[in-house]
């Protein structure tokens, strides 16, 4: 009796809240529909990781092979090279690239002219809308043996130089181009968080004689702390990705040993060698499990240290 009395108002209250926010749910519905169709709908296909796929029999009719795909995978030295490159590149991206949007957002926020801010935001954001195919084309025209830089060197009597074919600098080239392309777009999130900081804190700090750097370190950065932590956790959750689109377009045979990542490895075994969808699905499933593990670990550490995270 008492349970019914308690649960009744709760259900009514929930339905009332949903009705009051119906337009928000309507706006969210296409996003939910997208993930249901393209993310959750194909999940039964993950069983291919444990099957010997036969196109005639289909996914459900193909024979089970257990962990045979993983046995072959762990014996492949190319896989371990791809795994090592993926982890190294991703960690270096976090160390080098992750702070750049924060720094850019802080610098833009310190400008006094609103018009100049908007101009800089537009300039820094524009590269995000260029595909990696276009960016790679720009890099080829600049940095290959027939590129502008090489032609200038030849004109001054130096040897021709193909910078994109040099394994020693290909990784820094990845980080530099990714910062140029994505830092402005990522900075928008931090600038939105900065806009939500109470301006009275800055006014009080100015009255107390705080310098600009002191206001940044004691007001702005603490004010966007939770945003930084959440995006940092998400970055850790993508460690096993490492940026396939960029590497696929900028990479070549000369630099493959330095930038051969898991996604490229999956692409090759799926489309460039004897097609084995079971084997490639096994690699992709393992990568997703590792990413999810890194995400949970980073979130747990954040909850322990910073008392905040994506979820409890």
The 10s digit of each residue's pLDDT in 233-274 is: 999 988 988 889 999 999 888 888 899 999 998 888 888 776
Can you give the residue ranges of every domain in the chain?
A: 81-305
Instruction: Look at residues 167, 173, 81 and name the one whose alpha carbon lies nearest to residue 136.
Output: 173
Find the angle CA(267)-CA(273)-CA(279) to the nearest 5 degrees: 65
Q: What is the pLDDT of residue 43?
A: 87
As a whole number of angstroms, the distance between CA 180 and CA 175 comes to: 9
Say what the pTM is: 0.83
Predicted pLDDT of residue 6: 46
Reading the block at residue 120, the tokens are 């800089």
Question: What is the reported pLDDT for 275?
Answer: 72
- List the Cα angle 216/220/222 in 5-degree steps: 110
pLDDT of res. 159: 85
HSE, side-chain direction, 13 A CA sphere, residue 190: 26
Q: Is the pLDDT of residue 87 over 90?
A: yes
Tens of pLDDT along 114-124?
Answer: 888 889 989 99
How confident is the model at residue 2, as a pLDDT?
Answer: 45
Residue 9 confidence (pLDDT) above 70: no
Architecture of the domain made up of 81-305: Orthogonal Bundle (1.10)
Confidence of residue 312 (pLDDT cuts 50, 70, 90): low
Tokens linked to 190: 């931090």
Whether 8 shows a pLDDT value over 60: the answer reads no
Mean pLDDT of the 219-237 span: 91
Average pLDDT over residues 32-60: 87
> Which whole number is the average pLDDT over 206-235?
91
pLDDT at 308: 79
């Amino acid at each position: 009796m008492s349970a019914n009395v308690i649960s009744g108002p709760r259900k009514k209250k929930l339905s009332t809240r949903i009705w009051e926010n119906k337009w928000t749910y309507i706006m969210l519905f296409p996003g939910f529909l997208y993930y249901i169709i393209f993310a959750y709908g194909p999940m039964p296909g993950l069983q291919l990781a444990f099957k010997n796929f036969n196109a005639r029999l289909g996914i459900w009719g193909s024979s089970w092979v257990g962990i045979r795909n993983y046995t072959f995978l762990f014996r492949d030295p190319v896989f371990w090279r791809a795994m090592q490159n993926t982890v190294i590149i991703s960690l270096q991206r976090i160390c080098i690239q992750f702070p750049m949007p924060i720094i850019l957002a802080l610098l833009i926020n310190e400008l006094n002219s609103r018009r100049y801010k908007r101009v800089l935001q537009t300039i820094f954001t524009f590269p995000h809308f260029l595909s990696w195919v276009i960016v790679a084309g720009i890099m080829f025209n600049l940095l290959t043996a027939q590129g502008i830089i090489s032609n200038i060197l030849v004109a001054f009597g130096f040897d021709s130089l193909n910078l994109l074919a040099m394994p020693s600098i290909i990784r820094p080239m990845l980080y530099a181009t990714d910062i140029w392309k994505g830092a402005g777009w990522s900075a928008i999130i931090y600038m939105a968080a900065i806009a939500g900081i109470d301006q009275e804190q800055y006014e009080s700090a100015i009255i107390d004689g705080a310098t600009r750097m002191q206001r940044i370190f004691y007001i702005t950065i603490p004010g966007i702390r939770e945003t930084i932590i959440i995006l940092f956790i998400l970055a850790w959750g993508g460690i096993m990705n490492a940026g396939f689109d960029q590497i696929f377009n900028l990479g070549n045979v000369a630099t493959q040993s330095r930038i051969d990542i898991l996604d490229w490895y999956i692409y090759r075994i799926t489309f460039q060698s004897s097609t084995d969808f079971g084997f490639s699905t096994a690699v992709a499933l393992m990568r997703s499990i590792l990413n999810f593990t890194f995400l949970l670990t980073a979130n747990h550490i954040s909850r322990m240290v910073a008392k905040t995270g994506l979820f409890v």
